[in-house]
Structure 1
């Protein structure tokens, strides 16, 4: 699970702080629970994640890992925002508030998960179709299954799944990507995420609505509202992903702290141990590669090591 953690301004801590969470579970619990050191200064926290799942699911996941969820205000996920923006209740004759989403229609090609568990579309008033010609839009939650009209999902490898957006591009229907991440860290490897499919779809000329980091219009706005946040100039965004956390900070006008060890760029930086420092020249080269420029760089979050 990738994510970030946002804290609001306090009288003693004049910053917003965003904390990286990754799939290395043995470090994640200590990382989240150590944020209490900043909470003791009056900082208020909200977890921000590019997870395609609902916020409540992510919160329960954190609890199951042993994280103290009383340390933050709540959870914002790109999956939760996708659900809320798609939500409409035909029985009550309510329409989606957002003009772009209101124009989508209700028939969708659903790219979802199989092994990790399919994403439920219950309550959204959507019709899942398998024929591209019947679809009004593509909804991308996962990268290893195609949602079926029966409510089940058909497991597919990534190469085969990528052929579906290619077919959709010729019809020029839009895509909503519920998880903009390109990859996530799993034991022993990196797994391709929906952002990879979305990036390919854009290259094919398709229109994509990105629901999470680094796109500030939706997820950062929601995070700062939850935290009753101050101006962007009083914020610092901390994360391990240059193309999401740091580029998102750049777009939002927020200072940033790039965490290098055990993050998504650890291999590129030739780092193999938690807490290991990256070479400055390597960080500069990587920042240029992704056009994402951190204000500060550390091996681990500063509050992780404070006594």
Structure 2
């Protein structure tokens, strides 16, 4: 059994001990509507230490340039971070490397920038598609992954792979829990389909992040709220992790967290964290 979780009220000591930080966005820095003032303050204080830098690591299925503009609107100042790495970035690289020319897009129109500059054509003819690319649900406030079962059955009959540009299964938008592309991809995998996953917790986004920072895993701190993405990804790369418990999985252990329930949830998943905090604050 894993040891009891170290619950802390302030992240300052952990941040101060790190040379670089890899920080999740949704659930840590903002809730999809506005930035969290305490989280902004924490990164501002970290930046004052003139350390190696901060990578904002997001499972957003869009290029980092688009996410930067979103952070501007949400109130996350650009001086808080040095780089943005997104699942959209690594998905674009993978699509280019695979040489796909005709793709079926699953997701809302706002995610179409993921294809900009790529030599691909989006098709509504499944027989012409070489793969499905899922960036999310078209109407994530009303739909669930099950709404896509007929499409997935048709894709499975053709042996098409599904490229998942956001491994998150759910996210909190304000007080609402919203399904993400990972939920559709997980259903396709359960049905026997082939899924290519890009983003957290998979290695490529961490390799890119550490390369940009120029730090070793042990001198970097990963901050995230996801026990399906952020924490498993950090554990796999031997990056110390700070779990923000008030994010997407708060219903599992409570908010504020019950120490026993939190410890049990992490032990069940064989996850370890350097510490846990209800909200990111210095």
Structure 1 equivalent of residue 235 of structure 2:
250
CA shift at 1:33, angstroms? Answer: 4.2
CA shift at 1:156, angstroms? Answer: 8.7
Structure 2 equivalent of residue 294 of structure 1:
273
Matches for 1:5-16 after TM superposition, within 5 Å: 13-16=17-20
Deviations 1:76-101 (A, max 9, x none): 111122223324xxxxxxxx3xxxx2
Structure 1 equivalent of residue 157 of structure 2:
170
Structure 1 equivalent of residue 119 of structure 2:
125
Kindly report the root-mean-square deviation, in angstroms, between the aligned alpha carbons of the 2 structures.
Answer: 2.3
Please point out which of 115, 138, 143 is paired with 2:132.
138
Alignment pair present for 1:264 and 2:248: yes
Alignment pair present for 1:18 and 2:22: yes
Please point out which of 43, 60, 66 is paired with 1:35.
43
Distance 1:236 1:34, change over 3 A: closer
Distance 1:210 1:250, change over 3 A: same
Q: Is the 8 A contact 2:24 2:57 kept in 1?
A: no
d(CA) in 2 for partners of 1:71, 1:188:
26
Distance 1:68 1:33, change over 3 A: farther
Alignment pair present for 1:186 and 2:173: yes
CA shift at 1:270, angstroms? Answer: 2.3
Please point out which of 213, 220, 225 is paired with 2:206.
220
Structure 1 equivalent of residue 87 of structure 2:
78
TM-score by length of 2: 0.83
List alignment gaps of at least 5 residues for structure 1. 1-11, 88-95, 146-154
Deviations 1:220-261 (A, max 9, x none): 0111111122x2222322211111111111111222111112
Q: Is the 8 A contact 1:33 1:67 kept in 2?
A: no
Structure 1 equivalent of residue 196 of structure 2:
209
Structure 2 equivalent of residue 148 of structure 1:
none
User: Does 1 or 2 have the higher relative contact order (CA < 8 Å, sep 6+)?
Assistant: 2
Matches for 1:92-171 after TM superposition, within 5 Å: 96=97, 101-102=98-99, 105-114=100-109, 117-120=110-113, 121-144=115-138, 157-158=143-144, 159-171=146-158
Q: Is the 8 A contact 1:33 1:71 kept in 2?
A: no
Q: Is the 8 A contact 1:214 1:243 kept in 2?
A: yes
TM-score by length of 1: 0.77
CA shift at 1:141, angstroms? Answer: 1.0
The more displaced of 125-134 and 169-178 is 125-134
Kindly tell me the number of residue pairs found equivalent between the two proteins.
259
Matches for 1:227-246 after TM superposition, within 5 Å: 227-229=213-215, 231-246=216-231
Distance 1:285 1:166, change over 3 A: farther
Deviations 1:257-288 (A, max 9, x none): 11112x011122222xxxx3x12210122114
d(CA) in 2 for partners of 1:47, 1:286:
26
Deviations 1:132-164 (A, max 9, x none): 32221111112126xxxxxxxxx9943332321
